[in-house]
Chains A and B, each alone.
Chain A
Amino acid sequence: MDISIEKKQDVTVIRLADRFDAYTAPAVKEKLLALQEAGQVNVLVDLSAVDFVDSTGLATLVAGLKHCRRAGGELMLLGLQPRVRVIFGLTRLDHAFRIFDDEVEALRGFQKEDDAA
Chain B
Amino acid sequence: MMLHKFVSRNRQLIENLAQSWQKAGAQGFALLDSRGNAVFGDGATTGQQLTMSLGQYGALRITVGSPEPGAVNGYEMQLACQAQLLTQILKRESELESMTVELMGAYDQLVAMYNLSQATRAHLDLESLLGSLLQETVSLTEAERGFVALQEDQVWKKVASVPPGPHPDDLIPSLSQVVRERGRPLVCNSPEECRRMLPSLPLRVERLSLTPVKVGGEVVAVIGLFNRPEAFTAGNQKLVSALAEEAGSIIERAQLQQQMVTQERMQRELEIAASIQMSLLPTVLPQIEGLDIAASCRPANEVGGDFFDFVRNEDGLLGVTLGDVASKGVPAALFMVVSRTLLRTAASLYVSPSRVLEHVNQEIYEDLSNVGLFVTAFFAYYDPFTGVLTYANAGHAPVIFYRNATASSEFWEADGPPIGVLPQVTSRDYGVPLMPGDVLVIMSDGFNEATNGQGEMFGIQRLQEVLSVNATQSAERICAALFSAVETFAEGTPQADDQTVVVLKVVGQMGRGEDRWTPDAWS
* Residue B404, interface by CB 8 Å: no
* Residue B80, interface by CB 8 Å: no
Question: B153 → chain A, closest Cβ, in Å?
Answer: 15
Question: A80 → chain B, closest Cβ, in Å?
Answer: 15
A: interface residue count bin = 20 to 34
Question: B410 → chain A, closest Cβ, in Å?
Answer: 15
* Residue A27, interface by CB 8 Å: no
* Residue A85, interface by CB 8 Å: no
Q: A91 — which chain B residues lie within 8 A by C-beta? A: 376, 395-397, 414, 417-418
- Give the dominant DSSP class at B's interface: loop
A90-B397 contact given A62-B372, A62-B420, A63-B372, CB 8 Å threshold: yes
Q: Are B417 and A93 in contact (CB under 8 A)?
A: yes
Q: B445 — which chain A residues lie within 8 A by C-beta? A: 55, 90
Within 8 A of B (CB), among A36-67: 54-56, 58-60, 62-63, 65-66
Question: A98 → chain B, closest Cβ, in Å?
Answer: 13
Mark B409-432 against chain A: 1 for CB-CB distance below 8 A, else 0.
Answer: 000011111101110001100000
Q: B497 — which chain A residues lie within 8 A by C-beta? A: 54-55
Q: Are A95 and B416 in contact (CB under 8 A)?
A: yes
Question: B228 → chain A, closest Cβ, in Å?
Answer: 47
B: interface residue count bin = 20 to 34
Question: A71 → chain B, closest Cβ, in Å?
Answer: 13
CA A96 – CA B457 in complex, angstroms?
A: 25
Question: B377 → chain A, closest Cβ, in Å?
Answer: 11
CA A95 – CA B395 in complex, angstroms?
A: 10
Question: A94 → chain B, closest Cβ, in Å?
Answer: 8
A59-B416 contact given A22-B328, A91-B395, A91-B397, CB 8 Å threshold: no
Q: Are A90 and B414 in contact (CB under 8 A)?
A: yes
Q: A29 — which chain B residues lie within 8 A by C-beta? A: 372
CA A54 – CA B449 in complex, angstroms?
A: 9
Q: Are A59 and B417 in contact (CB under 8 A)?
A: no
Q: Are A55 and B398 in contact (CB under 8 A)?
A: no
Question: B113 → chain A, closest Cβ, in Å?
Answer: 43
Q: Are A95 and B417 in contact (CB under 8 A)?
A: yes
Q: B448 — which chain A residues lie within 8 A by C-beta? A: 90
A90-B373 contact given A54-B449, A56-B327, CB 8 Å threshold: no
CA A114 – CA B427 in complex, angstroms?
A: 29
**Additional A-B contacts beyond A83-B457, A90-B448, A93-B417 (10; CB < 8 A):** A22-B328, A55-B324, A55-B376, A62-B326, A91-B417, A91-B418, A92-B395, A92-B414, A92-B418, A93-B421
- Show the binding face of A for B, using Cβ within 8 Å: 22, 29, 54-56, 58-60, 62-63, 65-66, 83, 89-93, 95-96
- Show the binding face of B for A, using Cβ within 8 Å: 304-305, 324, 326-328, 369, 372-374, 376, 394-398, 413-418, 420-422, 426-427, 445, 448-449, 457, 496-497
Q: Give the top 4 A-B pairs by smallest Cβ distance, nearest first.
A: A63-B372, A55-B326, A90-B397, A91-B395
